[in-house]
Structure 1
Amino acid sequence: MAVTSPDMVLGLSPCPNDTFIFHALLHGLVPSPCHFRPHMADVEELNALALRGELPVTKISVGVLPHIMDTYAVLSAGSALGWGCGPLVVAREALSPEAQRTARVAVPGLMTTANQLLTLTGRFQGPRDEMLFSHVMDAVLDGRADAGVIIHEGRFTYGERGLVKLLDLGEWWEATYHAPLPLGVIVIRRDVDPALVQAIDRAIAASLAHAWECPADSADYIRAHAQELSDEVTQAHIRTFVTEFSRDLGERGREAVQRLVEQGAAALGRSLPAEGLFVPAARA
């Protein structure tokens, strides 16, 4: 039976790109087909909840999509996808290719897009330690890991912490596949009524449009959840991870997502769903 509830849980992270996109929707500033109750958590927790099918609508890492693609479909709006936005591999000092191959790497979750990209490069074949993204740099600095994959605001602050960049995984992806990098998307359970799916997709797009048109409205909400981030880093984060693809994946965005999902699905010996990865793209 299709889900048609007027009250729905929405999974999002406290990162500035998500709070920027969803503020207007969560605070009644744009029309919405239902009332959303936010479940705010680190993206790897959201990935775990999606694996269990617990959230009807949620942000996830594209890296987890091969595991949940029969349960969830990808919405057109709300994604983190673009150019020059990839995770970085950092270390205390430069490492030779041989040292990189066997390095112990701290990763922000085994289901994250960052971890999938690390695997795809083939350069890092040593053990991986899974931890919260906010703990990765500390693990590298105190020697628990030889290298770490940093995401979110880490790309703006690693130099201040005394770390050096070994590899930009976004640059690697762009050079290899000539496509924008899909980091995260918004998915909706396939048991949600199709008419409601379309209305939710439009509401998320409207929420982002409001954020771009009236950025002052969401400033306090973003700041409250960004914790120790400076306003400068917060704005850089939003500029980097909220792009035109966040308004609408479009054909090029969908192709990029599908390419990364196909890579992950092949590693699992799985095929894409017959109904496709994406909800219909109608917005009228």
Structure 2
Amino acid sequence: MPIAFSPCPNDTFVFHALVHGLVPGAPQLDVTYADIDITNRLAAGPDGLDVMKISYAALPWVLGDYALLPCGGALGRGCGPLVLTAGAATPADLAGKRVAVPSDRSTAYLLFRLWAAQTIPGGVGEIVVMPFHEIMPAVRDGAIDAGLVIHEARFTYPNYGLTMLTDLGSWWETDTGLPIPLGAIVIRRSLLPERDKLAGWIRASVEYAWAHPEASRGYVLEHSQELAPEVVQAHIDLYVNSFTAELGEDGYAAVEALLGRAAKDGLVPAFDLILLR
């Protein structure tokens, strides 16, 4: 079965058992490792794979072709994106300024735009899409006024001498009481008869990972892009949780709240919320 997910520690931890034939009855996977901005574009075009990890923010563009799986993705609390500056600043200081983002089809981007609409008088100036690994150096060096960062940057930004202006996850949770929808696992609608089976195999892979955390260590580190082992473990602890095993009503409510708000503000195409189920 063709599948695409990122080389990030949470994805390799979750899918280790499936990739290595440790889930009884599951098919062999043909894995493409790609960052989520790449899979977002693939899912929206003719070359999308049967099963893919994409950003929840990209769902409105692909719901005609893909259905959401209720497991395997990333939602959570205390794991939101950060807005960083080179020194102490207030939201008002970003009015009319240049802000770097890693993607304009990401949950981080939607959260930033929703937050900015509430808190930055007149809004920000230019949004610059920049490769993730270039954002913190650009903010440090003054090429950009602020940067939106995700994943391991939560743990490493002090190394660049940067200051956290706001934690968008904390803002979202305070504003809604809901977890943050980050990465979704989707399956082609033409394969919907296999959705329940696939969901069961993914849950089994998650449960195996939790029961045998050492089994996946070599595989995870191999793909972790030279992250320190302690950062890898912190990444897994943050992004692999009960929502990974089962989206549940709180998970669905979070997705509907984020994408419903974004559609209302014109940040994503309008869509029928029933397609999320």
Equivalent of residue 35 in structure 1, options 28, 31, 34: 28
Taking structure 2 as the reference length, what is the TM-score of the superposition?
0.93
In the alignment, what sits opposite 1:161? 160
Q: Residues 75 and 243 of structure 2 are in contact (CA less than 8 Å); yes or no, is this contact kept in structure 1?
A: yes
Provide, for residues 226-262 of structure 1, a one-character-per-residue CA deviation record: whole Å limited to 9, x for no partner. Answer: 1221111110100111110000001111111111121
Q: CA deviation at 1:23?
A: 0.8
Equivalent of residue 233 in structure 1, options 226, 231, 234: 231
Provide, for residues 189-224 of structure 1, a one-character-per-residue CA deviation record: whole Å limited to 9, x for no partner. Answer: 111141x11111111111010000011110001101
Q: CA deviation at 1:140?
A: 1.1
Q: Residues 71 and 185 of structure 2 are in contact (CA less than 8 Å); yes or no, is this contact kept in structure 1?
A: yes
In the alignment, what sits opposite 2:218? 220
Q: How many residues align?
A: 269
Provide, for residues 117-140 of structure 1, a one-character-per-residue CA deviation record: whole Å limited to 9, x for no partner. Answer: 111011352211112222211221
Q: CA deviation at 1:91?
A: 1.0
Secondary structure of the equivalent of 2:164? strand
CA distance in 1, matches of 2:269, 2:147: 28
**Equivalent position amino acid for 2:97 in 1:** A
2:7 aligned with 1:14: yes
2:72 aligned with 1:78: yes
**Equivalent position amino acid for 1:203 in 2:** W
Unaligned runs of 5+ in 1: 1-7, 279-284
Secondary structure of the equivalent of 2:251? helix
Unaligned runs of 5+ in 2: none
Of the structure 1 ranges 184-193 and 217-226, higher mean CA displacement relative to structure 2 is found in 184-193
Secondary structure of the equivalent of 2:276? coil
2:193 aligned with 1:200: no
Query: 1:12–1:190: structure 2 CA closer, same or farther, 3 Å change rule?
Result: same
Secondary structure of the equivalent of 2:197? helix
In the alignment, what sits opposite 1:48? 41
**Equivalent position amino acid for 1:270 in 2:** A
RMSD: 1.4
- The within-5 A match list for 1:1-284 is 8-53=1-46, 54-121=48-115, 122=117, 123=120, 124-194=123-193, 196-266=194-264, 267=266, 268=268, 270-272=270-272, 274=274, 276-278=275-277
Moved over 4 A (4+): none
Secondary structure of the equivalent of 2:214? helix
Q: CA deviation at 1:102?
A: 1.8
Of the structure 1 ranges 10-19 and 25-34, higher mean CA displacement relative to structure 2 is found in 25-34
Q: Residues 262 and 272 of structure 1 are in contact (CA less than 8 Å); yes or no, is this contact kept in structure 2?
A: no
Q: Residues 32 and 200 of structure 1 are in contact (CA less than 8 Å); yes or no, is this contact kept in structure 2?
A: no
